[in-house]
Amino acid sequence: SQKIEQNSEALNIQEGKTATLTCNYTNYSPAYLQWYRQDPGRGPVFLLLIRENEKEKRKERLKVTFDTTLKQSLFHITASQPADSATYLCALVGGYSTLTFGKGTMLLVSP
Amino acid sequence: DVKVTQSSRYLVKRTGEKVFLECVQDMDHENMFWYRQDPGLGLRLIYFSYDVKMKEKGDIPEGYSVSREKKERFSLILESASTNQTSMYLCASSLPGEGTDTQYFGPGTRLTVL
């Protein structure tokens, strides 16, 4: 069956460092992969999408890579700030335009 | 900006009650979705709809039903609420055909069933 895995342990980093989050998937051949941010008690918010023919995508301090051979996406936040603290979810598209989400990784950026 | 609203942020109901959760989107999106989110289990799809009066079961439809009488509104119904339905419920919408299936979420309803 299709499976998406994100590191369940929280990632703690210091302000100014680069945070790197991992999303691994099995039994999928996705055309694209999405990343969302979720703050406590709120709905997820879309951040970035990367297509299978794109190796890398950037948006301000965010960078996403997509390796279809390794079946892995990496999500980087450079020059991290305490305001970046949140849970980050990756998602893959299924049938009828549904998305299957990973369980998310919590990022904690300390001053 | 897409706006997805949900009828309540917090709701407390008793076991056996019929519960209605309402979701409204203002961007003319065809697709609408209901999820529940529980610690350690992530987001799980309950039902979705790709058109008015159309509905499809997601991964965990048992104990739930849905209604979509108008394009902008998608309702989740708990026919007889049980304590194991205590959860955060999230509604989302998306526009098919734009090639991204980006979903826009509402703020969520935290439902407690006593």
Rounded to a whole number of angstroms, the distance from the CA of A39 to the nearest CA of chain B is 10
Dihedral pair phi/psi, residue B72, rounded to 5°:
-85, -10
DSSP state of A6: E
Mutation site for A-interface testing, chosen from B101, B102, B104, B105 by largest number of A Cβ within 10 Å: B101
pLDDT band at A78 (very low <50, low <70, confident <90, very high): very high
- Is B107 close to A99, i.e. CB distance below 8 A? no
Q: Which two tokens stand for residue B53?
A: 């009066």
What integer is the mean pLDDT of A12-38?
93
Distances (CA, A) of B21 to A38, A39, A71: 21, 22, 37
Q: Which residue from B31, B40, B90 is facing A97, i.e. has the nearest CB?
A: B31
DSSP state of A97: G
pLDDT digits (tens, 9 = 90+) for B75-108: 999 999 999 999 999 999 998 766 678 899 999 9
Whether B12 and B83 have beta carbons less than 8 Å apart is answered as no
Cα(A21)–Cα(A19) distance, rounded to whole angstroms?
7
pLDDT of residue B17: 97
Residue with tokens 């989302």: B92
Interacting residues of B39 by C-beta distance below 8 A, sequence separation 6+: none
The fraction of chain B above a pLDDT of 90, given in percent, is 87
pLDDT of residue B97: 65
Cα(B42)–Cα(A4) distance, rounded to whole angstroms?
11
CA angle at residue B62 from B77 to A28, to 5 degrees?
110
pLDDT band at A27 (very low <50, low <70, confident <90, very high): confident
Residue with tokens 């997820």: A44
- Is B41 close to A49, i.e. CB distance below 8 A? no
Judged on CB neighbours under 10 Å (0-12, 13-18, 19+), B39 is: exposed
Cα(B3)–Cα(B12) distance, rounded to whole angstroms?
25
Whether A11 and A21 have beta carbons less than 8 Å apart is answered as yes
Whether A33 and A90 have beta carbons less than 8 Å apart is answered as yes
pLDDT digits (tens, 9 = 90+) for B9-48: 999 999 999 999 999 999 889 999 999 999 989 999 999 9
